[in-house]
Amino acid sequence: MDIYNPHTKEIAREGILEKEEQVIFVSSGDASVLSWLKSHGLHDSLIEDIQSEEQSITFDEIEDFNLKVMKYLLPNEEDARLTLSYNVSILYFENKLFILSSEAKVIDRIKEKYLAHDDTRFSTSYLLYLFPDIIIDNNTSMLVAIEERLETLEEHIFHDKAKENVLHQDIYYMRRTLDKLYKIATQEKDSIRKGYDHLPEKEKEALQYEYLDLKEHIRYLISESVALLTRSEYLLNLHTGMLSTRMNKAMQKLAAISLIFLPLTFIAGVYGMNFTYMPELKWEFGYAMVWVIYIVIAIVVFIKLRKMKWL
């Protein structure tokens, strides 16, 4: 658990102080903090929302408690193509702002962004805007990474460097992440709107441009997720089409080779019939003539096929 003074961003060594404004980064499973919140009237249903990873994105206001649950995406350490989503609970109570998550890495990354932020506004309403903005920016960075990966795959497809099984796996995992981002952004759009509507009129006016910017980021997430889903489908179709074209060319070459040997096979078949009266069989130059005919036919057919660009 890390506790900061929002005005100075200095760490508070004394722990949670009743009358002090504090920003508290803590695990959602920290028993001492949950006990403190319970003792100050936090409803059991909100504690369940905070602790459950199955909890969807939401905004709740019960009595003096204001709870916003959001999703924070991280790449899987074992396979960077996969993403994991973690709940982040932003809980405001009186003059305390709690940032809770079950994943320590998520808390550390949000805390790092918060401490690096150099805005001089420290009101609770501003912080209630700032932390969702940090989370949405992180999710947007995942979208940018996918876009760059799709561009790389597109180049590999055009230069025939794409391995079929790897390509299909990459696109499958990216589509899963894009679908997840789309659903998250759609739900967050409604949650952000509710949070803004619950602000006092004075705070609404002071933060209207910040929330407009936040809404713009969410719109970007939604529209780009859809666009990249469409692009990934196009790449799959493009790769399938190029494979089909290569297969057709291979079949065309095989057909061309067959066309060269077809008349030769016919001639061999004719003279392979064991009839008694076949005058060419006893001709002195019959064997040599057959070879001449073979070579002439093969050359003529080959030239014709080259002109048709079959070979």
Q: With 70 as the cut, is the pLDDT of residue 210 above it?
A: yes
The Cα 160–Cα 164 span in angstroms is: 10
Digit-coded pLDDT (tens) for 191-207: 888 888 878 888 888 88
**pLDDT digit string, tens, across residues 65-85:** 788 888 888 888 777 677 888
- CATH number for region 245-307: 1.20.58.340
User: Mapping DSSP to helix (H, G, I), strand (E, B) and coil, where does residue 118 land?
Assistant: coil
- By residue count, the chain amounts to 311
- Least confident residue range of 20-24, 137-141, 274-278: 274-278
Kindly provide the b/e burial profile for residues 215-226, where b requires at least 16 CB atoms within 10 angstroms of the residue's own CB.
bebbeebbebbe
pLDDT of amino acid 121: 67
**Distance between CA atoms of residues 24 and 33, nearest Å:** 10
CATH code for residues 1-118: 3.30.460.20
Strand order in the sheet with 96-101: 2-4, 22-27, 96-101, 83-93, 65-75, 58-62
Residue 309 falls in which region: left (phi positive, over 0), alpha (psi -120 to 50) or beta: left
202 vs 205: CA distance, rounded Å = 5
- 264 pLDDT more than 80: yes
Candidate from 18-22, 127-131, 177-181, 254-258 with smallest mean pLDDT = 18-22
Three state DSSP letters for 121-158: CCCHHHHHHHHHHHHHHHHHHHHHHHHHHHHHHHHHHH
Whether the Cβ atoms of residue 23 and residue 6 lie closer than 8 Å to each other = yes
Rounded to whole angstroms, how far apart are CA atoms 78 and 70? 24
The model's pTM is 0.74
User: Residue 33 is inside which H or E element, if any?
Assistant: helix 31-39
Q: Supply the pLDDT for residue 162.
A: 65
pLDDT at 41 over 70: yes
| Domain residue spans of the chain | 1-118, 245-307
CA distance 120 to 160: 53
Pick from 16-25, 49-58, 118-127: least confident: 118-127
Rounded to an integer, the average pLDDT of 264-277 is: 81
Rounded mean pLDDT, 79-104: 84
